[in-house]
Amino acid sequence: MDRMLYIGMSGAKEVMHSQAMNNNNLANVNTIAFREDLAQQRSMPVYGPGHASRVYAMTEKVGTNFSSGPIETTGNELDFAIKQDGWFSVESKDGSEAYTRAGNLMVTTEGFLQTRSGLSVLGNAGPILVPPYESISIGVDGTISMRPLGQSAAALAEIDRIRLVNPPLGEMEKSPDGLFKLKSGDPAPFDANVRLMSGMLERSNVSVVETMVKMIQLTRSFDMQTKIMKTAEEIDQAADILMRVS
């Protein structure tokens, strides 16, 4: 009975992991440019002394759904969405270069261009610093232009250019903070072909309907695994009674 019990236990544990990941996707359905997490499970023999006669379920390395989310128009001069493929560079909390598509930006009181989560946007020479301005715009190639405070409409100045990249998706991985980095740890090369759409934002690529359906499926799967464990217990109790009678 231990095999049956072990299969049910390991299956229930991995279903719980999948449910937690699915719940996280659902919680981020309104997060700008969020990329859905994917889980894959497979059977794995239990190796140790003797023959590997026990098998358990194992969740493999989490994958990512890189498909684009829907685009919405905001009209905000500091909002932008990336057209088709590509990413823009930010400075992560540990100081390394990371990548995101969440283009809802702001300018801090110190003048730094940052994401809404407080990460500095990187330009040609590091974090982008914006002087006091009357108006500001982001071009399709990532060039940031502004009209200095107190100047006429004709006095436009180019501040910097957002560092845009487009590495192969197979070379990227998602960090626990939701940002993306190259698996090698190296910075991605600048790509002049990446294009932006100003005054727009990309929404999460998580489908509420599909995620809710998956939640129901996982709940049913968990119930099935617990029933297997309960059945194994009942069979074990029945066998114990028979042994006593004999």
d(CA 145, CA 125): 16
Count of other CB atoms within 10 angstroms of residue 80: 26
The whole-number pLDDT of residue 61 equals 63
Question: For residues 131 and 236, which has the higher predicted lDDT (pLDDT)?
Answer: 131
The whole-number pLDDT of residue 243 equals 73
Strands 63-64 and 37-38: antiparallel
d(CA 17, CA 37): 12
pTM above 0.75, yes or no: yes
Band of pLDDT at residue 37, cut at 50, 70 and 90: very high
Band of pLDDT at residue 86, cut at 50, 70 and 90: very high
The whole-number pLDDT of residue 90 equals 97
Average confidence score pLDDT of the chain: 88
d(CA 155, CA 148): 7
Is the pLDDT at 45 greater than 80? The verdict is: no
The type of residue at 115 is T
Is the pLDDT at 1 greater than 60? The verdict is: no
The whole-number pLDDT of residue 224 equals 87
Cβ atoms 71, 83 nearer than 8 A: no
Is the pLDDT at 35 greater than 90? The verdict is: yes
Is the pLDDT at 167 greater than 70? The verdict is: yes
**Phi/psi at 106 (5° precision):** -150, 160
Question: What would the pLDDT profile of 55-78 be if each residue is shown by its tens digit?
Answer: 777 776 678 999 999 999 999 999
Band of pLDDT at residue 222, cut at 50, 70 and 90: confident
